[in-house]
Amino acid sequence: MSDFKGKIAAHAITWGDDHLKAVEEISQLGYRAIEPWASFVLQYENRIDTFKEWLAGYGLVLTGLYGGASGGANQRFADPGVRRELVDHNVRLAKTIRQCGADILVLGPGGTREHPTTPDELKNAAVTINEIAKATYDLGVKACIHPHLWTEVQDEHELVALMEQLAPEVYFAPDTAHLLGAGMDPAAIIRRYKDRVAYVHMKDLTVQNQASAEELPFFCELGQGAVDFAGVIEALNDIRYTGWVTVEVDRSLNTPYRSLEICRHYIEQQLQIPIK
């Protein structure tokens, strides 16, 4: 995979609320960039230089933050009643991201999913997403729609219909496991939206038809599930992707350190991509 021009980072989600340990161990594992919890970074909102210096002390930089409509079960892009709240919150995140020297805002859709999203709901969602993206673009931050299982933007027909209504200022942040889990081919989707891909979550999906599947987390370490990562990297190479690819393991049967170590070994040994 020597043609890969992207950059590998790690997500702090595996450590839960233990933010300080996440930064320390991600650094120890040799990763050089991190996507931490947005709520954690906002604690430094009025002292960003302190946060940047602290991260730099561990040899890390910020890749971006996760926002969108992910703040609660009752928040959805499709609800015009929370549009102003969502715009204000994501602009706040974008200002923090920019001050940190990064330029990626991941727009997580709202949940919990109760039914397929209707065309009218997708139309309302597009209005909100476009308003957010135009505002953050003016700040130098790319707002990236991020299809996610169990939310208002999950299935392929929802993604396609939504993308057709999004302004040029809206970018795309595919997640390999969430796309596969919704029945999509991650590599094909990456190629389809090649001009908008600005950030990637690299996540594996448990093979759920295993006899012990009920004992396994839905997501797993890279190389232990069903995602064709060689095909994903080939697609990223084909579109000449140079941005961040952030490794993410929501929960595992290992320690967070071991989980991200397994992922690092897979990337370096199987995909032949150096972490540093």
Q: Which of 160, 70, 172 is nearest to 122 (CA)?
A: 160
CB–CB of 205/183 below 8 Å? Answer: no
Q: What does the DSSP assignment read for 157-205?
A: HHHHHHHTT--TTEEE--BHHHHHHTT--HHHHHHHTTTTB--EEE-EE
CB–CB of 153/159 below 8 Å? Answer: yes
**pTM of the full structure:** 0.95
Decide if pLDDT at 215 tops 70.
no
Per-residue model confidence (pLDDT) at position 209: 53
Mean of per-residue pLDDT scores for the chain: 94
Task: Report the Cα 47 to chain-centroid distance in Å.
Answer: 25
The one-letter code for the residue type at 229 is F
26-43: per-residue pLDDT in tens? 999 999 999 999 999 999
| Rounded (to 5) percent helix, strand, coil in the chain | 45, 15, 45
Name, in order, each residue with C-beta under 8 angstroms of 169's C-beta and a sequence gap of 6 or more: 130, 133, 134, 136, 137, 143
Q: Round to whole Å and give the CA distance between 245 and 201.
A: 6
At which residue do the structure tokens 């974008």 appear? 94
Mean pLDDT, range 252-258, rounded to an integer: 92
Decide if pLDDT at 147 tops 90.
yes
Per-residue model confidence (pLDDT) at position 253: 82
Mean pLDDT, range 102-110, rounded to an integer: 97
CB–CB of 73/111 below 8 Å? Answer: yes
Per-residue model confidence (pLDDT) at position 188: 98
- Give me the domains of the chain, ranges plus CATH numbers: 7-270 (3.20.20.150)
Tell me whether residue 223 is exposed, middle or buried, using C-beta atoms within 10 angstroms of its C-beta: 0 to 12, 13 to 18, 19 or more: middle
